[in-house]
Structure 1
Amino acid sequence: MNPSRGPERLVRAGQWLIALLFAYFLIQVGGALIADLPLLSSPPRLEQFLDQPAKTALEAELQPLESRREALQEQAERLGERQQQAQARYEREKASFDNWRSTRSATAQSDQNPEVIARARQLDGLLQQQQQLSGEQAALAARLRQVQASIAVPRQQLQQLQSEAQGRFQAARQRAELRAFGIRLLLVGPLLGLSLWQFRRFHRSDQWPFVWGFLLFGLFAFFVELVPYLPSFGAYIRYGVGALLTFLVGRALIRWLNGYLARKQQEQAAPQEQRQHTIRYEKALQSLARSQCPSCERSLPRREGVLPNYCMHCGLQLQHDCSQCGALHYACFPYCPSCGKPA
C-alpha cells in the first residue's frame, strides 16, 4: 500500500537523482582540489636524503675493485677447468700404464725396460702439472680474498650511507603523512561538520535533495579522502582514533535509542485521539502495509489476512466502524472508503 501518487513518486525519484548527481559533482570537485594541493602531490623520495657526492665517490672506488674481482673469478674458473682436464688426463694415463705393466709382468719381461721408464716419467710430468695448477689456484684464491677484503670496506660504508638515508627518509615520510593528513583534516573536518549540521536542520525542507547530496559528499570525503590517510605510528593512532570514533558513535546510538524509547512511552501514554493525530498518514499506511503498528512499530498478526482492531502491544486503535455506514476500515483513513464520510 503506497500512499504516494504517481507524479509524487516520479518527482521523488527525480529528487533522489538530483541528490546523487549533486553529491557526485561535489566529490569530483573535492577530489580535484585535493589532488592539486602542492603539499600533497610531492611526497619525499629516498634519493633526496642520500649523500650523493659520498655515494658517487664510494661507487667510483668500488668499480675497479669489482672489475678486478670479476676478472679473478673468471681466471679461477678457467684454471679450475684446466685442473680438471689435467687430472682426468693423468688418471687415464695412469690406468693405461698400470694395465701395460701388468701385461709385461705376465710375460716375465723386465721392469727396467726403457719404455717403462719413459712412461713413468710421463706420469710424473702430468703429476707435476697438476701440482703446478694447484699452486696457481692457491695463489689466485689468495689474491681474490685480498680483493674481496678491499671491497668489504667501501661496500660497508655505502650500506651505512644508505641506512642513514633510509632513516632520514622514514622520518621525512612520517612528517609528510602528518602534514598531508592535517591538510585533509582542515578541509574535510569542517566540511563533514557543516554537512551534518545542515542535514540535521534542513533535511525536512523542500531543499532536501541538496542537503542529502551535501551530506553524501561530506561522508565520502571523510571515509575516502581522510580516513585512509590516517597516519599509523605502530598502529597506535589508527586504532586509537578508531576506538574513539566507535565510542562516540556508540554513545550517540545509545542516546538515540533511549530518546526513541522515551518518546514511544510518551506517545503510548497520550489519549487515543491524540496518538492518532500525531502519526503521519503516509507513515501509518506504510506501517499497516508491513503489518506493523504505526505507533510502537511492533509486528501485528493477521487473521485470515485481516489486522486486529487494536494493537495488542500499545493499545492503539487500528480499525473502527464508520459511524454512517458501519463499514470497517483503518482508523487513519481521513474518509470512509465505503460511503466517503469524513472521519
Structure 2
Amino acid sequence: MRSGVSLSERSFTLILWLVAVAFAVFLIGLGSLVVGDLPEVEHRYTLEQFLDPGKSQATAAALKEVRRERGDNQQQTDQAQLALDAARSASAAARETFANWLKTRDTTQRVDQDPDLVARTQQLDALKAAERTVEERLEALAQADLDLAQKQSALMAEDSEERAAAQQKLQAAESTQELRVFGYRLAVTLPLLVLAGWLLLKRRNTRNWPFVWGFALAAAFAFFVELVPYLPSYGGYVHYGVGVVVTLVAGRAAINALHAHRERQRIAEARPDEERRTEIATDQALLRLAKKVCPGCERPVDVASPNANFCPHCGIGLFERCPACDHRKSMFERFCSACGSRGGHAALGQA
C-alpha cells in the first residue's frame, strides 16, 4: 500500500485498519469457541469404566453387608450397655439395702433373721450373675464387631487396590485422549497459521489487505495464545518449536527481501535519472523528501541546502528551477507551488 499524504486517504487507511482489527476480533472469538469445544468430540472417561464389574460389585455388596452387620451389632451393643447399666444400678441398690439390713441385724443380734440373710445373699448373687451375663454379652458383641471391622478393613483394602489399578488405566486413557484432542486443536490452528503466512506473503498488498491482516492476526492469536491453556505437558515443545520455525522462515524471508532490495537498488542507481524518477509515485517522493531522505535510495539528504539538487548517494535529481518563475521546486512535483505552471521533469508522467 502506497504512502499517501491526503487527509482522505489517511482517513480511509485508518478505517481499513479498524476493519482489519474488527475482523481479527470476531475471528478470534469464533476460533476460541471452536478450540474450546473440540474436546466435546471425545467421550468423558470415568473410573467405573476401568473396574472389573463382577469383582467390583461383589466387593461393594460385601462391604455393604459388613457395614449393615456392624450397624446391627452397634444397636445390640447400645441395648446391652443400657441393660448392663440397669443391672449394675439394681445390684448397687441391693447391696446398699443389704448393708443397711446387716447393720440392723448386728444391732439386734436376732438369730431368727438368719434365713433372711441367706435369701438376701442369694438375691445379691442372682443380681451379680445377671450383671455378669450382660457383660459377657457385651464382650461377645465387641468381639463380633472387631471381627467385622477386620473384615471391613480387608474388603476396603481390596477395593482400594482395585480402584488404584483402575485409576492408572484411567490416567493412561485420559493421556491418550488429551493427545488426540491436542492433535485436533493443532490440526485446526496450525493450517490457519500457515495460510495466514502465505496470505501475508502473497496478498498483503492487494485491495483486500485489511482482511488478510485481520485473518493473520486471528490465526497468530489462536495458535500462540488460544492454544496455551490446552497444551499438554509436551505441548510446549510443539508450541515453541513451531514458533522457532515460523521465526526462522520469516527471518529468512526478511533477509532475502533485504538483499533483493539492495540488489534492485544497485541496478536502479545505474539507470538514467529521468527513468528512475518515472517509477516513483509523486506523493511517495514528496513524503520521503519531507522526511529528509532521498526518494530513490531513502538515504539522508540535506534538503534545506539550496545547492542540494541531487542525491549525493545515488545521483537522482531532487530539485530544479521552475522554467516559468525560476522558483526552486522538487523535480517530483507536477506543478510549481509558486506559479502553478507544469514543471519540466514532472511532466514526464509520474504516477
Same fold (TM over 0.5): yes
**Structure 1: distance between partners of 2:156 and 2:179:** 35
How does the TM-score come out when normalised to structure 1? 0.59
3-state SS in 1 of match to 2:316: coil
CA contact (8 A) 1:279 1:294 kept: yes
RMSD: 4.3
Equivalence for 2:211: 210
Q: Percent identity?
A: 36
Equivalence for 1:255: 256
Equivalence for 2:21: 20
Q: 1:335 to 1:240 in 2, by over 3 A?
A: same
**Structure 2: distance between partners of 1:235 and 1:35:** 18
Which structure has the larger Rg over C-alpha atoms? 2
3-state SS in 1 of match to 2:253: helix
**Structure 2: distance between partners of 1:190 and 1:238:** 14
Is it true that 1:288 corresponds to 2:289 in the alignment?
A: yes
AA at the equivalent of 1:223: F
Deviation by residue 1:288-310 (Cα, 9 ceiling, x = unmatched): 22222222223335657x79433
Equivalence for 1:80: none
Q: 1:221 to 1:175 in 2, by over 3 A?
A: same
Q: 1:3 to 1:205 in 2, by over 3 A?
A: closer
Cα distance, 1:152 vs structure 2: 9.1
Q: 1:48 to 1:7 in 2, by over 3 A?
A: farther
Equivalence for 2:319: 319
**Structure 2: distance between partners of 1:240 and 1:199:** 21
Equivalence for 2:270: 269
CA contact (8 A) 2:20 2:211 kept: yes
CA contact (8 A) 1:301 1:307 kept: no
Deviation by residue 1:36-71 (Cα, 9 ceiling, x = unmatched): 44x35768567466638778988986x98xx9xxxx
AA at the equivalent of 2:334: P
**Structure 2: distance between partners of 1:259 and 1:249:** 15
**Structure 1: distance between partners of 2:169 and 2:268:** 65
Q: 1:237 to 1:195 in 2, by over 3 A?
A: closer
**Structure 1: distance between partners of 2:33 and 2:294:** 48
Deviation by residue 1:92-144 (Cα, 9 ceiling, x = unmatched): xxxxxxxxxxxxxxxxxxxxxxxxxxxxxxxxxxxxxxxxxxxxxxxxxxxxx
CA contact (8 A) 2:42 2:177 kept: no
Cα distance, 1:210 vs structure 2: 2.8
Equivalence for 2:103: none
CA contact (8 A) 2:4 2:10 kept: no
Equivalence for 1:124: none
* Unmatched 5+ stretches in structure 2: 71-148, 347-351
Cα distance, 1:213 vs structure 2: 2.6
CA contact (8 A) 2:319 2:329 kept: yes
3-state SS in 1 of match to 2:320: strand
> How many residues of Structure 1 are paired with residues of Structure 2 in the alignment?
266
**Structure 1: distance between partners of 2:194 and 2:235:** 29
Equivalence for 1:187: 188
CA contact (8 A) 2:56 2:159 kept: yes
